[in-house]
Amino acid sequence: MTLSTSPRVVKAGLVLVDPKSAQVRRVIALQYNPEKLTRSLQMQGMGEPVDRAEALRLRGPAVETFRIEAEIDAADQLEFPDRHATTVEAGIAPQLAVLEGLVNPAAGDLLASRALAAAGTLEIAPMESALVLFVWGANRIVPVRVTDFSIVEEAFDPSLNPINATVTLGLRSLSVDDLGFDHKGGGLFMAYLQSRERLAGKAATFGFDALGIGGLP
């Protein structure tokens, strides 16, 4: 028996949660963790021009965005075709279809809306989609909306099923400003914000001497 000293790698991914019952609908684990995660935080100040009394006020949490590139590859599965009949049949197309579902309403929902319109319903509210959680380790679980999504299919089997692709996902955090404090996603955002504050509390603190100055003028 061979014992590995390599640490167990936590999978990054997306979790789809029912916004009302909070039940998990689907877990989408990335096959390989991306090597790079791009983050951007846009501060929500009081706008321009700003009154002097409002210059230091924040009107809400910063809008955080994420961008990741993930590779999906069928090589490992095709090495053992007897164990992975679906991959042999369709390549990685099923995995791509799952991700496409993040930006498309379900066909059943569209047909239901059409039936309501045909029955004379005057106002038809769009169906509420699942709440998407971006999971990047235990300290980064944040509700998000998918803002853009692209796929580059780079290799194909003889039936032209994709067997290698790079997926780029753009995500925007959903805060209490978007969802409210009583929404399940709002509570998850507050837990995420509090976890970031706890991490900040672990950072080393320094006095003015670290800046090479004696103190404030």
pLDDT at 2 over 50: no
pLDDT at 113 over 90: no
What is the overall mean pLDDT for the chain?
A: 87
In terms of residues, how long is the chain?
Answer: 217
Question: With bands split at pLDDT 50, 70 and 90, how would you rate the model's confidence at 210?
Answer: confident
Higher per-residue pLDDT: 196 or 59: 196
pLDDT at 67 over 90: yes
Strand, coil or helix: what is 42?
Answer: strand
pLDDT at 48: 62
- Pairing between β-strand 141-156 and β-strand 24-29 as defined by DSSP bridges: unpaired
Strand, coil or helix: what is 187?
Answer: helix
Question: With bands split at pLDDT 50, 70 and 90, how would you rate the model's confidence at 83?
Answer: very high
Model pTM? 0.84
Strand, coil or helix: what is 145?
Answer: strand
pLDDT at 5 over 60: no
Residue 62 CA to residue 54 CA, distance in Å, equals: 17
Least Cα distance to 90 among 100, 78, 105 occurs for 78
Least Cα distance to 137 among 183, 195, 194 occurs for 195
pLDDT at 176 over 90: yes
pLDDT at 52: 61
Residue 25 CA to residue 169 CA, distance in Å, equals: 20
pLDDT at 96 over 90: yes
Question: With bands split at pLDDT 50, 70 and 90, how would you rate the model's confidence at 21?
Answer: confident
pLDDT at 47: 62
Tokens coding 14: 């997306």
pLDDT at 1 over 50: no
